[in-house]
Amino acid sequence: MPFVERSAIERGFAPIFDAQIAPRIDALEAERREAVQTGNRKVKIATAVGLVAGIALSLIFGNWVLLLVFGLAGLIVGFVLRGLGADRWLRKLHEVVIPPVVSFVCHLEYTREPSTGFPLGAMGDLGLFGSYNRKSLTHHLSGTWRDTSFEMVQAHLRRRSSGGSNSSGTTRTIFMGLLFSIEVPGGAPTPILIARDYGKVGNQLAGFFSFGKRRGMPRVAFEHHRFEELFEVHAEDPEAARAFMPDAFLDTLISIGDTEGGKEGAKSMTAGFEGERFFLALSRELGFMQVGHVDRSILDIEDALHALFDDLTLIRRIIDRLHGEQPVDAQGQMI
């Protein structure tokens, strides 16, 4: 089970893999199989208990709908218990795999479940996403690249609304994806929000429901056709913002969205400037720095490690573009 180095960032990692990760793989695979077997057993037991309870109550009350209700409840409880076991195993896998990789990639600090530190409040106040009251932050990275400090995190922001006395309420996703805070040497001359363009009516509604966020700032127009199709820019000082964001920078923003924005490309992106920070939000499916799955063997973990290295270089690719450089892929080809 050797690790074959592919990209420049992986050069020299094979001996570390052999010494720190490979010796643990067989034991982790055995634990994975045990977690799957135990989880499946819990699903069967919980479902059986629910069915027995449902049959008993159905006989007592003469309502066979209770059989379906309790059977489904048992099934749900079983899958919850299975998921908890899977999460414990996945956490153990991450503790083995991720620290050596992050340590190997210089100038990086990593926290799997950060509690504080990332400027969510500043990004929300600027208007990169809407109001939320539930948050899940994972895989926080901070460091420097090209003498530029940064931090990033995977975020799932939700808003839970009360359903009143007769309802349990609803939860909707406000944002799901990656958030970045990147140093701007010298700072921006004015607060700037680079919001998605939802069309005339959509933009008016977004401004109306911004609740005092920066989307209420004056509109800034650019003579850049594709950028104007994708984004709507607002700034306290439109002239300063226009001078601060030349066409080359607008092209850079579009290329970041196109290459790193997932299925939606540049349409997945919102951004902005506040003081000495450039904020960026990329909406995409969760899965950043995901290594392994309880239902898949990890005996051949090499592809997952290559994907992990690629995730760790995402911020480098973004900063490269912001510095006017063209990133390269694992084969040395321009992206």
CB atoms within 10 A of CB 39: 21
Q: Hunting for tokens 């400027």 — which residue is that?
A: 119
User: What are the structure tokens assigned to 121, written together?
Assistant: 């409040």
pLDDT attached to residue 254 = 95
pLDDT attached to residue 215 = 63
User: What are the structure tokens assigned to 192, written together?
Assistant: 């700037």
Quick: pLDDT tens for 179-232.
999 999 999 999 999 998 766 544 555 555 554 455 679 999 999 999 999 999
CB atoms within 10 A of CB 280: 25
Query: Which of 95, 109, 99 has the alpha carbon at shortest distance from 151?
Result: 109
At 194 the three-state DSSP class reads strand
Q: Is 204 exposed, middle or buried (0-12, 13-18, 19+ CB in 10 A)?
A: exposed
pTM of the model: 0.87
Q: Are strands 170-183 and 134-145 parallel, antiparallel or unpaired?
A: unpaired
> Where do the structural domains in the chain lie, given as residue ranges?
108-289
At 286 the three-state DSSP class reads coil
Quick: pLDDT tens for 83-96.
999 999 999 999 99
Q: One digit per residue, pLDDT tens: the chain, 335 residues? A: 789 999 889 999 999 999 999 999 999 999 999 999 999 999 999 999 999 999 999 999 989 999 999 999 999 999 999 999 999 999 999 999 999 999 999 889 999 988 777 999 999 999 999 889 899 999 999 999 999 999 999 999 999 887 655 556 788 999 999 999 999 999 999 999 999 876 654 455 555 555 445 567 999 999 999 999 999 999 999 999 999 999 999 999 999 999 998 888 899 999 999 999 999 999 999 899 999 999 999 998 999 999 999 999 999 999 999 998 877 654 455 55
| Widest CA span in the chain | 77
User: What are the structure tokens assigned to 149, written together?
Assistant: 């400090």
